Every structure is written in C-alpha cells, then in structure tokens.
C-alpha cells in the first residue's frame, strides 16, 4: 500500500504559478471572485472566494481541484 501511495505522489502534476494565474483571470472574466494562493514554494492553487451557501447563510471560500485549474486556464473568453 505504501508503494502505491508513493507512486501516486510522484505522478502528481504540480500546478504552476502561470497555470493558476490564467485560471484566476478566466474565472474572473466569467464573473467569479477567485484568487491565486501559494501554500508552499511548489504548492500553487486557486481559491473561489465569496461563494454563497444557503445552508450556512454565509459566504465561504474553497480551493478548486487541479483538474479544474487545468480546464479553467483554457477558458479565456468571457461568458
């Protein structure tokens, strides 16, 4: 099991700053509030900000998945 986990970690794609910045720009062009975050030197990510949730009656932020960053970085035309 440990070897499988180590292989998964080694095969994991690392998001670059450029990919995240393109995804943020695209999300913002589509009307979303988004921001690029750096959790560690090689840990770039994208957060959706001010997402309303009826259950909490409040807005929250969350990090989107790497696959979503890959897709959003290609959506450069506004909605």
The residue ranges of every structural domain in the chain are 15-72
Question: For residue 19, what pLDDT is reported?
Answer: 94
Instruction: Tell me the pLDDT band of 9, cut-offs 50, 70 and 90.
Output: very low
CB 19 within 8 A of CB 44: yes
pLDDT digits (tens, 9 = 90+) for 10-67: 555 688 999 999 999 999 999 889 999 998 888 899 999 888 877 778 888 889 999 9
Q: Which two tokens stand for residue 29?
A: 């062009």
This prediction has a pTM of 0.73
């Amino acid at each position: 099991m440990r070897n499988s986990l180590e292989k998964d970690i080694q095969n994991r794609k690392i998001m670059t700053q450029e990919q995240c910045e393109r995804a943020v720009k695209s999300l913002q062009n589509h009307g979303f509030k988004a921001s690029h975050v750096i959790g560690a030197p090689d840990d770039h990510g994208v957060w959706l900000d001010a997402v309303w949730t009826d259950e909490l009656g409040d807005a929250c932020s969350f990090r989107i998945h790497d696959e979503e960053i890959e897709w959003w970085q290609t959506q450069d035309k506004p909605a």
